[in-house]
Amino acid sequence: MLVLVINSGSSSLKYQLRDLDAGTVLTEGIVDRIGFPAEGGEVGVADHEEALEVVDAALHEVLAGRQIDAVGHRVVHGGERFGDPVLIDNEITRAIERLNPLAPLHNPANVLGIRAIAEKWPDMPQVAVFDTAYHRTLPERAWRYAVPDWLYTRHGIRRYGFHGTSHQYVAGRAAGLLGLEPAAFDGVVLHLGNGASATAVQGGRSIDTSMGFTPLEGLVMGTRSGDIDPSILVFLGRLGMSSDEIDDLLNRESGLKALGGSNDMRTLVEAAERGDAKARRALDVASYRLAKYVGAYHVAVGGAKAIVFTAGIGENSSVFRALVAEQLGALGVVLDTEANAVRSPEPRVISAPGSAIPVLVVPTDEERAIAEATAAVVSSALGERASR
Protein backbone atom coordinates (compact mmCIF):
# COMPACT_ATOMS: atom_id res chain seq x y z
CA MET A 1 0.00 0.00 0.00
CA LEU A 2 1.28 3.49 -0.90
CA VAL A 3 0.46 6.10 1.72
CA LEU A 4 1.10 9.83 1.41
CA VAL A 5 1.66 11.39 4.83
CA ILE A 6 0.78 15.08 5.05
CA ASN A 7 1.69 17.56 7.77
CA SER A 8 -0.07 20.74 6.76
CA GLY A 9 0.89 23.97 8.51
CA SER A 10 -0.43 27.48 7.94
CA SER A 11 2.38 28.37 5.53
CA SER A 12 3.97 25.01 4.79
CA LEU A 13 3.07 21.54 3.61
CA LYS A 14 5.34 18.63 4.52
CA TYR A 15 4.88 15.33 2.75
CA GLN A 16 6.31 11.84 2.74
CA LEU A 17 5.38 8.99 0.42
CA ARG A 18 5.77 5.52 1.92
CA ASP A 19 5.51 2.04 0.50
CA LEU A 20 4.22 0.05 3.46
CA ASP A 21 4.73 -3.38 1.91
CA ALA A 22 8.36 -2.66 1.11
CA GLY A 23 8.83 -0.64 4.31
CA THR A 24 10.47 2.19 2.38
CA VAL A 25 10.21 5.96 2.08
CA LEU A 26 9.85 6.71 -1.64
CA THR A 27 10.25 10.46 -1.34
CA GLU A 28 9.67 13.35 1.00
CA GLY A 29 9.78 17.12 0.96
CA ILE A 30 8.32 20.40 2.04
CA VAL A 31 6.56 23.21 0.22
CA ASP A 32 6.94 26.34 2.28
CA ARG A 33 6.23 30.06 2.11
CA ILE A 34 2.64 29.26 1.12
CA GLY A 35 0.76 32.54 0.78
CA PHE A 36 3.95 34.62 0.68
CA PRO A 37 4.88 36.67 -2.41
CA ALA A 38 7.35 35.19 -4.92
CA GLU A 39 10.98 35.99 -4.15
CA GLY A 40 14.13 36.26 -6.31
CA GLY A 41 12.99 34.21 -9.30
CA GLU A 42 11.17 31.70 -7.07
CA VAL A 43 7.59 30.88 -8.03
CA GLY A 44 5.11 31.93 -5.37
CA VAL A 45 2.67 29.37 -3.95
CA ALA A 46 -0.63 31.14 -3.30
CA ASP A 47 -2.49 28.55 -1.23
CA HIS A 48 -2.68 24.90 -0.18
CA GLU A 49 -4.25 23.84 -3.51
CA GLU A 50 -1.25 25.24 -5.36
CA ALA A 51 1.10 23.63 -2.85
CA LEU A 52 -0.54 20.30 -3.59
CA GLU A 53 0.12 20.81 -7.31
CA VAL A 54 3.81 21.20 -6.46
CA VAL A 55 3.69 17.98 -4.40
CA ASP A 56 1.84 16.17 -7.19
CA ALA A 57 4.52 17.15 -9.71
CA ALA A 58 7.26 15.96 -7.33
CA LEU A 59 5.49 12.62 -6.76
CA HIS A 60 4.79 12.01 -10.44
CA GLU A 61 8.25 10.72 -11.30
CA VAL A 62 8.60 8.59 -8.17
CA LEU A 63 5.19 7.00 -8.65
CA ALA A 64 5.96 5.95 -12.23
CA GLY A 65 2.35 5.10 -12.91
CA ARG A 66 1.54 3.59 -9.49
CA GLN A 67 -1.38 4.99 -7.51
CA ILE A 68 -1.43 6.45 -4.03
CA ASP A 69 -3.84 4.31 -1.96
CA ALA A 70 -4.51 6.68 0.93
CA VAL A 71 -3.48 9.93 2.55
CA GLY A 72 -2.73 10.19 6.28
CA HIS A 73 -2.83 13.61 7.96
CA ARG A 74 -1.08 14.67 11.11
CA VAL A 75 -3.81 16.62 12.92
CA VAL A 76 -2.74 18.45 16.04
CA HIS A 77 -5.91 18.60 18.13
CA GLY A 78 -8.51 15.86 18.46
CA GLY A 79 -10.10 17.33 21.59
CA GLU A 80 -12.04 14.92 23.78
CA ARG A 81 -13.67 13.21 20.84
CA PHE A 82 -10.83 11.51 19.01
CA GLY A 83 -8.92 8.73 20.76
CA ASP A 84 -8.09 6.85 17.58
CA PRO A 85 -7.24 7.61 13.96
CA VAL A 86 -10.38 8.07 11.82
CA LEU A 87 -11.43 7.90 8.20
CA ILE A 88 -12.21 11.47 7.15
CA ASP A 89 -15.57 12.55 5.73
CA ASN A 90 -17.33 15.93 5.76
CA GLU A 91 -18.62 15.46 9.29
CA ILE A 92 -15.13 14.60 10.60
CA THR A 93 -13.62 17.60 8.80
CA ARG A 94 -16.19 19.86 10.45
CA ALA A 95 -15.49 18.26 13.83
CA ILE A 96 -11.78 19.02 13.40
CA GLU A 97 -12.75 22.57 12.49
CA ARG A 98 -14.89 22.92 15.60
CA LEU A 99 -11.71 22.27 17.61
CA ASN A 100 -10.05 25.36 16.05
CA PRO A 101 -10.38 27.42 19.25
CA LEU A 102 -8.23 24.84 21.06
CA ALA A 103 -5.46 24.90 18.40
CA PRO A 104 -5.93 28.18 16.53
CA LEU A 105 -2.65 27.94 14.62
CA HIS A 106 -2.74 24.26 13.73
CA ASN A 107 -6.19 22.79 13.19
CA PRO A 108 -7.27 25.35 10.54
CA ALA A 109 -4.09 24.55 8.61
CA ASN A 110 -4.74 20.80 8.90
CA VAL A 111 -8.24 21.33 7.50
CA LEU A 112 -6.84 23.32 4.56
CA GLY A 113 -4.68 20.29 3.71
CA ILE A 114 -7.62 17.87 4.01
CA ARG A 115 -9.87 20.02 1.78
CA ALA A 116 -7.14 20.53 -0.82
CA ILE A 117 -6.73 16.74 -1.18
CA ALA A 118 -10.51 16.16 -1.29
CA GLU A 119 -10.75 18.76 -4.04
CA LYS A 120 -7.93 17.29 -6.13
CA TRP A 121 -8.56 13.57 -5.54
CA PRO A 122 -12.26 13.26 -4.53
CA ASP A 123 -12.12 9.46 -4.17
CA MET A 124 -8.92 9.32 -2.12
CA PRO A 125 -9.41 7.77 1.34
CA GLN A 126 -8.06 10.21 3.93
CA VAL A 127 -7.27 9.44 7.55
CA ALA A 128 -6.70 11.86 10.44
CA VAL A 129 -4.12 10.86 13.06
CA PHE A 130 -4.32 13.13 16.09
CA ASP A 131 -1.41 14.34 18.19
CA THR A 132 -3.62 14.34 21.29
CA ALA A 133 -5.29 10.94 20.74
CA TYR A 134 -2.91 8.73 22.71
CA HIS A 135 -3.57 10.84 25.81
CA ARG A 136 -7.33 10.30 25.69
CA THR A 137 -6.80 7.57 28.32
CA LEU A 138 -5.58 10.03 30.97
CA PRO A 139 -7.61 9.55 34.17
CA GLU A 140 -9.45 12.62 35.42
CA ARG A 141 -7.04 13.15 38.31
CA ALA A 142 -4.33 13.73 35.72
CA TRP A 143 -6.25 15.79 33.17
CA ARG A 144 -8.20 18.06 35.51
CA TYR A 145 -6.80 21.42 36.63
CA ALA A 146 -7.74 22.59 40.12
CA VAL A 147 -9.83 25.54 38.91
CA PRO A 148 -13.60 26.26 38.84
CA ASP A 149 -15.63 23.88 36.73
CA TRP A 150 -16.82 26.40 34.14
CA LEU A 151 -13.31 26.70 32.72
CA TYR A 152 -13.69 23.09 31.65
CA THR A 153 -17.40 22.94 30.84
CA ARG A 154 -17.55 26.21 28.90
CA HIS A 155 -14.07 26.42 27.42
CA GLY A 156 -12.70 22.89 27.41
CA ILE A 157 -9.79 23.90 29.63
CA ARG A 158 -8.11 20.66 30.75
CA ARG A 159 -4.90 18.74 30.04
CA TYR A 160 -4.91 17.26 26.52
CA GLY A 161 -1.24 16.45 25.95
CA PHE A 162 0.59 16.34 22.60
CA HIS A 163 3.29 14.33 20.74
CA GLY A 164 0.92 11.38 21.24
CA THR A 165 1.76 9.61 17.98
CA SER A 166 5.43 9.64 18.92
CA HIS A 167 4.91 8.58 22.54
CA GLN A 168 2.70 5.67 21.49
CA TYR A 169 5.05 4.49 18.75
CA VAL A 170 8.11 4.73 21.00
CA ALA A 171 6.38 3.01 23.94
CA GLY A 172 5.45 0.13 21.60
CA ARG A 173 8.99 -0.26 20.30
CA ALA A 174 10.45 0.01 23.81
CA ALA A 175 8.16 -2.80 24.93
CA GLY A 176 9.39 -4.89 21.98
CA LEU A 177 13.01 -4.24 22.93
CA LEU A 178 12.28 -5.47 26.48
CA GLY A 179 10.45 -8.54 25.13
CA LEU A 180 7.07 -7.32 26.43
CA GLU A 181 3.65 -7.01 24.82
CA PRO A 182 2.81 -3.28 24.38
CA ALA A 183 -0.04 -3.72 26.91
CA ALA A 184 2.42 -4.96 29.53
CA PHE A 185 4.66 -1.90 29.31
CA ASP A 186 4.98 0.52 32.23
CA GLY A 187 7.50 3.29 31.72
CA VAL A 188 8.39 6.91 31.16
CA VAL A 189 8.83 8.16 27.60
CA LEU A 190 10.79 11.38 27.00
CA HIS A 191 10.23 13.05 23.62
CA LEU A 192 12.94 15.72 23.52
CA GLY A 193 12.91 17.73 20.30
CA ASN A 194 12.40 21.46 19.88
CA GLY A 195 9.15 20.85 21.68
CA ALA A 196 9.57 18.39 24.54
CA SER A 197 7.24 16.29 26.64
CA ALA A 198 7.32 13.37 29.06
CA THR A 199 4.61 10.72 29.21
CA ALA A 200 3.80 8.24 31.97
CA VAL A 201 2.79 4.96 30.33
CA GLN A 202 1.01 2.23 32.32
CA GLY A 203 -0.18 -0.98 30.70
CA GLY A 204 0.75 0.54 27.33
CA ARG A 205 -1.58 3.53 27.85
CA SER A 206 -0.82 7.15 28.52
CA ILE A 207 -1.85 7.97 32.10
CA ASP A 208 -0.12 11.33 32.46
CA THR A 209 1.81 13.71 30.27
CA SER A 210 3.69 16.96 30.80
CA MET A 211 2.13 19.11 28.05
CA GLY A 212 -1.28 20.39 29.03
CA PHE A 213 -4.04 22.55 27.58
CA THR A 214 -1.40 23.68 25.10
CA PRO A 215 2.15 22.48 24.33
CA LEU A 216 3.57 25.19 26.63
CA GLU A 217 3.31 23.29 29.92
CA GLY A 218 5.93 20.99 31.39
CA LEU A 219 9.58 20.63 30.42
CA VAL A 220 12.09 23.32 29.50
CA MET A 221 12.01 23.33 25.67
CA GLY A 222 13.95 24.98 22.83
CA THR A 223 12.08 28.27 23.05
CA ARG A 224 9.24 27.48 25.51
CA SER A 225 9.42 28.05 29.25
CA GLY A 226 7.46 24.97 30.30
CA ASP A 227 6.08 25.18 33.87
CA ILE A 228 6.08 28.60 35.47
CA ASP A 229 4.02 30.20 38.22
CA PRO A 230 0.82 31.34 36.44
CA SER A 231 0.90 34.56 38.46
CA ILE A 232 3.88 35.64 36.38
CA LEU A 233 1.46 36.06 33.45
CA VAL A 234 -0.81 38.21 35.59
CA PHE A 235 2.18 40.23 36.74
CA LEU A 236 3.32 40.80 33.14
CA GLY A 237 -0.23 41.76 32.14
CA ARG A 238 -0.30 44.36 34.88
CA LEU A 239 2.99 45.72 33.58
CA GLY A 240 1.10 46.43 30.35
CA MET A 241 2.17 43.50 28.17
CA SER A 242 -0.57 42.31 25.80
CA SER A 243 -1.67 38.66 25.73
CA ASP A 244 0.00 38.26 22.31
CA GLU A 245 3.26 39.61 23.70
CA ILE A 246 3.12 37.25 26.68
CA ASP A 247 2.29 34.35 24.36
CA ASP A 248 5.30 35.19 22.20
CA LEU A 249 7.57 35.64 25.22
CA LEU A 250 6.77 32.23 26.72
CA ASN A 251 6.49 30.24 23.47
CA ARG A 252 9.24 31.74 21.33
CA GLU A 253 11.67 33.67 23.52
CA SER A 254 12.04 31.43 26.55
CA GLY A 255 13.39 27.94 27.32
CA LEU A 256 16.95 27.00 26.32
CA LYS A 257 17.12 30.05 24.07
CA ALA A 258 16.50 32.43 26.95
CA LEU A 259 18.67 30.57 29.46
CA GLY A 260 21.61 29.65 27.28
CA GLY A 261 21.45 31.89 24.22
CA SER A 262 20.55 29.10 21.76
CA ASN A 263 17.73 26.63 21.26
CA ASP A 264 20.11 24.17 19.60
CA MET A 265 21.36 21.46 21.96
CA ARG A 266 24.57 20.95 19.96
CA THR A 267 25.50 24.63 20.31
CA LEU A 268 24.74 24.56 24.04
CA VAL A 269 26.78 21.44 24.74
CA GLU A 270 29.78 22.82 22.81
CA ALA A 271 29.53 26.14 24.64
CA ALA A 272 29.19 24.42 28.03
CA GLU A 273 32.27 22.31 27.28
CA ARG A 274 34.18 25.55 26.57
CA GLY A 275 33.13 26.77 30.02
CA ASP A 276 30.28 29.09 29.00
CA ALA A 277 28.32 29.67 32.23
CA LYS A 278 25.01 30.55 30.54
CA ALA A 279 25.05 27.37 28.46
CA ARG A 280 25.83 25.31 31.58
CA ARG A 281 22.96 26.93 33.40
CA ALA A 282 20.58 26.10 30.54
CA LEU A 283 21.59 22.43 30.60
CA ASP A 284 21.34 22.39 34.36
CA VAL A 285 17.82 23.86 34.54
CA ALA A 286 16.51 21.68 31.67
CA SER A 287 18.00 18.39 32.93
CA TYR A 288 16.88 19.06 36.52
CA ARG A 289 13.28 19.76 35.41
CA LEU A 290 13.29 16.60 33.32
CA ALA A 291 14.72 14.43 36.10
CA LYS A 292 11.98 15.68 38.46
CA TYR A 293 9.32 14.65 35.93
CA VAL A 294 10.87 11.20 35.58
CA GLY A 295 10.74 10.78 39.36
CA ALA A 296 7.11 11.86 39.44
CA TYR A 297 6.09 9.57 36.58
CA HIS A 298 8.00 6.63 38.07
CA VAL A 299 5.57 7.01 40.96
CA ALA A 300 2.58 7.58 38.64
CA VAL A 301 3.10 4.31 36.75
CA GLY A 302 3.72 2.31 39.92
CA GLY A 303 7.37 1.67 39.10
CA ALA A 304 8.77 2.20 35.61
CA LYS A 305 10.17 -0.82 33.76
CA ALA A 306 12.05 1.57 31.46
CA ILE A 307 12.99 5.19 30.89
CA VAL A 308 13.01 5.90 27.15
CA PHE A 309 14.69 8.78 25.31
CA THR A 310 13.55 9.86 21.85
CA ALA A 311 13.49 12.74 19.24
CA GLY A 312 16.35 15.07 18.24
CA ILE A 313 17.91 15.60 21.68
CA GLY A 314 16.84 12.28 23.21
CA GLU A 315 18.25 10.26 20.29
CA ASN A 316 21.44 12.25 19.75
CA SER A 317 22.67 14.07 22.82
CA SER A 318 24.61 11.62 24.97
CA VAL A 319 25.70 14.56 27.12
CA PHE A 320 22.14 15.62 27.94
CA ARG A 321 21.07 12.01 28.60
CA ALA A 322 24.00 11.60 30.99
CA LEU A 323 23.08 14.82 32.84
CA VAL A 324 19.54 13.54 33.37
CA ALA A 325 20.58 10.01 34.31
CA GLU A 326 23.07 11.29 36.87
CA GLN A 327 20.20 12.95 38.75
CA LEU A 328 18.22 9.70 38.65
CA GLY A 329 20.81 7.96 40.82
CA ALA A 330 18.31 8.00 43.70
CA LEU A 331 16.12 5.62 41.67
CA GLY A 332 19.07 3.29 41.15
CA VAL A 333 19.58 4.33 37.54
CA VAL A 334 23.10 3.74 36.21
CA LEU A 335 24.13 4.47 32.62
CA ASP A 336 26.67 2.42 30.69
CA THR A 337 28.98 5.23 29.57
CA GLU A 338 30.13 3.39 26.45
CA ALA A 339 26.64 2.33 25.38
CA ASN A 340 25.42 5.89 25.93
CA ALA A 341 28.13 7.22 23.60
CA VAL A 342 27.14 4.94 20.70
CA ARG A 343 25.42 6.70 17.78
CA SER A 344 22.93 4.47 16.00
CA PRO A 345 19.54 4.61 14.30
CA GLU A 346 18.54 1.41 16.13
CA PRO A 347 16.58 1.14 19.40
CA ARG A 348 19.06 0.27 22.16
CA VAL A 349 19.70 -0.08 25.89
CA ILE A 350 22.14 2.47 27.33
CA SER A 351 22.00 1.57 31.03
CA ALA A 352 24.46 -0.65 32.90
CA PRO A 353 23.34 -4.24 33.63
CA GLY A 354 22.98 -3.32 37.33
CA SER A 355 20.69 -0.35 36.70
CA ALA A 356 17.46 -0.61 38.74
CA ILE A 357 15.54 0.71 35.72
CA PRO A 358 16.72 0.07 32.14
CA VAL A 359 17.34 3.25 30.13
CA LEU A 360 16.60 3.02 26.41
CA VAL A 361 17.07 5.13 23.29
CA VAL A 362 14.31 4.49 20.74
CA PRO A 363 14.29 6.62 17.57
CA THR A 364 10.84 7.99 16.85
CA ASP A 365 9.22 7.93 13.41
CA GLU A 366 5.94 9.83 13.42
CA GLU A 367 5.49 9.55 9.64
CA ARG A 368 5.79 5.79 9.79
CA ALA A 369 3.30 5.63 12.66
CA ILE A 370 0.86 7.85 10.72
CA ALA A 371 1.28 5.78 7.54
CA GLU A 372 0.68 2.50 9.41
CA ALA A 373 -2.35 3.88 11.24
CA THR A 374 -3.73 5.17 7.94
CA ALA A 375 -3.30 1.79 6.26
CA ALA A 376 -4.99 0.03 9.19
CA VAL A 377 -8.00 2.37 9.17
CA VAL A 378 -8.42 2.16 5.39
CA SER A 379 -8.07 -1.64 5.32
CA SER A 380 -10.66 -2.12 8.05
CA ALA A 381 -13.06 0.33 6.35
CA LEU A 382 -12.70 -1.59 3.07
CA GLY A 383 -13.22 -4.87 4.95
CA GLU A 384 -16.41 -3.53 6.52
CA ARG A 385 -17.74 -2.41 3.15
CA ALA A 386 -16.95 -5.81 1.61
CA SER A 387 -18.74 -7.74 4.38
CA ARG A 388 -21.88 -5.61 4.13
Stretch of 124-132, 149-157, 225-233, 258-266 contacting ligand ADP, by CB under 6 A? 258-266
The C-alpha atoms of residue 340 and residue 368 are separated, in whole angstroms, by 25
Residue whose beta carbon is closest to ligand ADP: 312
**Nearer to ligand ADP (CB atom), residue 129 or residue 378:** 129
> What is the Cα–Cα distance from 136 to 80, expressed in whole angstroms?
7
Q: How far is CA 193 from CA 49, 183, 261, 299, 363, in A?
A: 30, 26, 17, 24, 12
Confirm whether 131 is a catalytic residue: yes
Cβ proximity to ligand ADP, 97 vs 264, nearer residue = 264
Strands (E), the chain: 2-8, 13-19, 24-31, 70-75, 86-87, 126-130, 187-192, 196-202, 205-209, 307-310, 348-349, 359-361
Contact positions with ligand ADP (CB under 6 A) in 12-51: none
Query: Mask of contacts with ligand ADP, 157-196, x by CB under 6 A?
Result: ------------------------------------xxx-
Q: How far apart are CA 28 and CA 312, in angstroms?
A: 19
CA–CA separation, 212 and 208 (whole Å): 10
* Helix or strand run (H / E) with residue 154: helix 149-155
DSSP of 67-84 = ---EEEEEES--TTT-SS
What is the total count of residues that contact ligand ADP (CB under 6 A)? Answer: 12
Question: Which residues, listed in sequence order, are joined to residue 349 by a DSSP beta bridge?
Answer: 360
338 is in an annotated binding site: no
350 binds ligand ADP (CB under 6 A): no
Kindly tell me which of 86 and 198 has the beta carbon lying closer to ligand ADP.
Answer: 198
User: What DSSP string describes 86-102?
Assistant: EE--HHHHHHHHHTGGG
Considering the complex, state which of residue 70 and residue 268 has its C-beta at the smaller distance from ligand ADP.
Answer: 268
Q: Distance between CA 58 and CA 85 in Å, rounded?
A: 27
Is residue 15 within 8 Å of 5, Cβ to Cβ?
A: yes
The residue among 99 and 265 lying less far from ligand ADP, judged by its C-beta, is: 265
Residue 251 annotated as binding site: no
Give the interface segment with ligand ADP, choosing from 56-64, 125-133, 247-255, 264-272 (CB under 6 A): 264-272
Q: Which of 57, 50, 71 is nearest to 6 (CA)?
A: 71
**Residues 19, 131, 208, 244: which is the catalytic one?**
131
**Smallest gap from residue 129 Cβ to ligand ADP (A):** 16
Minimum gap (Å) between residue 194 Cβ and ligand ADP = 4
Q: Is 264 in the site for ligand ADP (CB under 6 A)?
A: yes
How far apart are the C-alpha atoms of 210 and 307, rounded to whole Å? 15
- Stretch 222-251 residues interacting with ligand ADP (CB under 6 A): 222
Using CB under 6 A as the criterion, what x/- string covers residues 206-225 for binding ligand ADP? ----------------x---
Known binding residue 193? Answer is: yes
For the bound state, the minimum distance from the C-beta of residue 162 to ligand ADP, rounded and expressed in Å, comes to 11
- Cα–Cα distance between 272 and 287 in angstroms, integer? 14
- Interface of this chain with ligand ADP, residues 307 to 346, rule: CB under 6 A: 311-313, 316-317
Contact status: 266 vs ligand ADP (CB under 6 A): yes
Query: DSSP secondary structure string, 186-239?
Result: -EEEEEESSSEEEEEEETTEEEEES--SSTTSSS--SS---S--THHHHHHHHT
Cβ proximity to ligand ADP: between 136 and 257 the closer is 257
Residues marked active site are found at: 131
Query: Where does this chain bind ligand ADP (CB under 6 A)?
Result: 193-195, 222, 264-266, 311-313, 316-317
**Which residue ranges are tagged as binding site for ATP?**
14, 191-195, 264-266, 312-316
